[in-house]
């Protein structure tokens, strides 16, 4: 698939061109990423997109646990209780025919059923209900989950120690985290969602423990058998989404 040259990767988000319809806080994020051949992800991308690649020709698969907090639908206040939950997603990196970069989610496991159903039905996102735990002890973050629904119920267990090394001006870290849109495939076509937030405060991470089945379930068997090629940690950002547009 051909298309326009990909837009520049920028650590600062372009301003939203429309009113924000969703606001969330993403906290204690762990970014585990593996380098893969673009052919490994082509079949998982929505129509009108192709794998986004780094200069070495590779694309990337991410496994990312974090705390989602204070979900709100402006101008309404944050949703109590149900608006805060643990989440672990498996995501890919895409670019569309107009050169717009994005993330594409293969799965999003979350611990509250009602937000899972709302996002799955209303937004077309592949959310799954899971039993989850998250802890932070000093510089160490630990996450664990087990999917509750479905015939296959993958588990994951992740532990990472955040270093004091701040990551700034790193092209790979920007490629993996400075993402200002997502593409979502729906029956009526591919939707493009823009978002914005302050630049990620990023730190190098040391992987202490990983036992994962989410990557296998997402279509990447054996990937978690090798160490991730990138480990990053962030205390978090507050993000805003505009309404999606249909391509």
Two tokens at 7? 């837009």
- Give the length of the chain: 247
Of residues 91 and 19, more confidence is placed in 91
Q: Over the chain, what HEC string results?
A: CCCCCCCCCCCCCCCCCCCEEEEEEEEEEEEEEEEECHHHCHHHCCCCEEECCCCCCCEEEEEEEEEEEEEECCCCCCCCCCCCEEEEEEEEEEEECCCCEEEEEEEEEECCHHHHHHHHHHHCCCEEEEEEEEEEECCEEEEEEEECCCCCCCEEEEEEEEEEEEECCCHHHHHHHCCCEEEEEECCEEEEEEEEECCCCEEEEEEEEEEECHHHHCCCCCHHHCCCCEEEEEEEEEEEEECCEEC
Residue 1 clears pLDDT 60, i.e. is over it: no
pLDDT given for residue 150 in this prediction: 81
Contact in structure between 108 and 145 (CB atoms under 8 Å): no
pLDDT at 2 over 70: no
CA 237 to chain centre: 13
Residue 132 — pLDDT band, cuts 50, 70, 90?
A: very high
pLDDT at 229 over 70: yes
What pLDDT does residue 122 have?
Answer: 83
Q: Is the pLDDT of residue 149 over 80?
A: yes
For residues 51 and 95, give the distance between their C-alpha atoms in angstroms, rounded to a whole number.
Answer: 6
CATH: 3.40.50.150, 2.40.400.10, 1.10.260.40, 3.40.630.30. Which one for 28-246? Answer: 2.40.400.10
- Would you state the structure tokens that stand for residue 235, as one six-digit string? 């205390």
The closest of 147, 144, 90 to 116, measured between CA atoms, is: 147
pLDDT of residue 245: 83
Find tokens 């380098």 and name the residue.
35
pLDDT at position 81 is 62
CA 79, 81, 86, 89 torsion-angle sign: negative
Residue 245 CB coordination number (10 Å):
12
pLDDT of residue 72: 80
Q: Whole-angstrom Cα distance, residue 8 to residue 238?
A: 22
Answer yes or no: is pLDDT of 247 > 70: no
Q: State the average pLDDT over residues 127-135.
A: 96
pTM: 0.95
The mean pLDDT of 238-242, rounded to a whole number, is 94
- Given pLDDT bands bounded at 50, 70 and 90, which one contains residue 243? confident
Class of residue 72 by CB neighbours under 10 A (exposed 0-12, middle 13-18, buried 19+): middle
Is the Cβ–Cβ distance between 75 and 123 less than 8 Å?
Answer: no
Q: Which residues pair with 144 in a beta bridge?
A: 133, 157
pLDDT in tens, 206-223: 999 999 999 999 999 999
Instruction: Please return the burial class of 8, using the count of CB atoms within 10 Å of its CB with bins 0-12, 13-18 and 19+.
Output: exposed
CA dist 182 and 194 (Å) reads: 7
pLDDT in tens, 64-121: 999 999 888 887 777 776 778 999 999 999 999 999 999 999 999 999 888 899 888 8
């Amino acid at each position: 698939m051909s298309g326009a040259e990909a837009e520049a990767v920028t650590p600062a988000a372009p301003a939203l061109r429309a009113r924000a319809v969703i606001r969330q806080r993403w906290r204690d994020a762990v970014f585990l990423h593996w380098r893969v051949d673009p052919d490994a992800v082509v079949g998982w991308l929505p129509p009108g997109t192709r794998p986004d690649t780094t200069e070495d020709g590779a694309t990337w698969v991410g496994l990312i646990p974090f705390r989602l907090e204070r979900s709100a639908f402006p101008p309404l206040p944050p949703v109590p209780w149900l608006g805060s939950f643990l989440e672990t997603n498996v995501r890919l990196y895409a670019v569309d025919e107009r050169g717009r970069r994005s993330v594409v989610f293969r799965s999003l496991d979350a611990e509250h059923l009602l937000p899972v159903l709302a996002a799955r039905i209303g937004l077309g996102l592949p959310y799954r209900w899971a039993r989850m735990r998250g802890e932070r002890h000093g510089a160490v973050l630990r996450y664990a989950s087990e999917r509750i629904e479905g015939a296959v119920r993958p588990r994951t267990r992740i532990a990472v120690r955040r270093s004091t090394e701040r990551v700034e001006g790193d092209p790979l870290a920007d490629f993996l985290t400075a993402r200002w849109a997502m593409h979502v495939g729906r029956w009526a076509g591919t939707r493009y969602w823009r978002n914005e937030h302050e630049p990620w405060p990023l730190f190098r991470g040391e992987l202490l423990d990983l036992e994962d089945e989410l990557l296998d379930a997402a279509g990447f068997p054996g990937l978690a058998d090798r160490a991730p090629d990138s480990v990053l940690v962030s205390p978090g950002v507050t993000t805003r989404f505009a309404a999606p547009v249909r391509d």
